[in-house]
A and B are shown apart, each in its own frame.
Chain A
Amino acid sequence: EVQLVESGGGLVQPGGSLRLSCAASGFTFSSYDMHWVRQATGKGLEWVSAIGTAGDTYYPGSVKGRFTISRENAKNSLYLQMNSLRAGDTAVYYCARGRLWFGELSAFDYWGQGTLVTVSS
């Protein structure tokens, strides 16, 4: 059974840093692109970052330069290092597995339960 379990969320002051982790099991972690998606309370979904199987990384403009995604295949783990945090980064953060269709990313087929990050003084 595929499982993704996030951890590391909490309360942090503006300008602070936090590192999220996602422990994967039930599949060959190294063979999949992985993603982080966030959702502010009562709001929609926002893609935050991606990492490919070769370690290539991608970010939207809203977090580029502040967030760093990484993976450790030997530990079946995904990470998100978040620096220079702002109130607008407050959200539940989900890790998700990328699903390929004919070699192209087609969806996120498994999601973790999420971890809450609150940026406040």
Chain B
Amino acid sequence: DIQLTQSPSFLSASVGDRVTITCRASQGISSYLAWYQQKPGKAPKLLIYAASTLQSGVPSRFSGSGSGTEFTLTISSLQPEDFATYYCQQLNSYPRELTFGGGTKVEIK
């Protein structure tokens, strides 16, 4: 089974900060990685797919990079509405399995 490890699990940052979240896969997953944002009581929202492709309607301050086993989600200038939990997801081994990372909670400093 492919495990996804996100780091950090918790991040405290200020408005305007550049934020980077890392997702490491236990084995290579090519570019089959997606990133989601989830706010309390809401469904996850797709931000990035195929490791680096921005979903339509998502602000350009969000970007993704990486391939193989190491991936990053970057928010170039943190906005108040960006305080949320972020999850990565690997789809390389679908349909046998689909796994999510443990999440990174971004809170206001």
Which residues on B sit within 8 Å (CB–CB) of A106? Answer: 32, 34, 49-50, 53, 91
Which residues on A sit within 8 Å (CB–CB) of B53? Answer: 101, 106
- Residues of B in contact (CB 8 Å), total 25
Distance of B13 from chain A, by nearest CB (Å): 21
Q: Which of A99, A110, A112 sits near B49, CB closer than 8 Å?
A: A99
Residue of A nearest to B30 (CB): A104
Q: How large is the interface on A (under 10, 10 to 19, 20 to 34, 35 or more residues)?
A: 20 to 34
Question: Are A45 and B87 in contact, CB atoms less than 8 angstroms apart?
Answer: yes
Bound: A104/B102 CA distance, A: 24
Question: Are A111 and B44 in contact, CB atoms less than 8 angstroms apart?
Answer: yes
Distance of A45 from chain B, by nearest CB (Å): 4
Per-residue contact bits, chain B 90-104, to A (CB 8 Å; 1 contact, 0 not)? 010011111111110
A113 at the interface (CB under 8 A from B): yes
Given contacts A45-B44, A107-B91, A113-B43, contact A101 B100 (CB under 8 A): no
Residues of B near any A CB (own CB < 8 A): 32, 34, 36, 42-46, 49-50, 53, 55, 87, 89, 91, 94-103
Q: Give 15 pairs: A residue, B residue, CB < 8 Å, sorted on A.
A: A44-B100, A45-B44, A99-B49, A101-B49, A104-B91, A105-B91, A106-B91, A107-B55, A108-B34, A108-B89, A109-B46, A111-B45, A112-B43, A113-B43, A114-B43
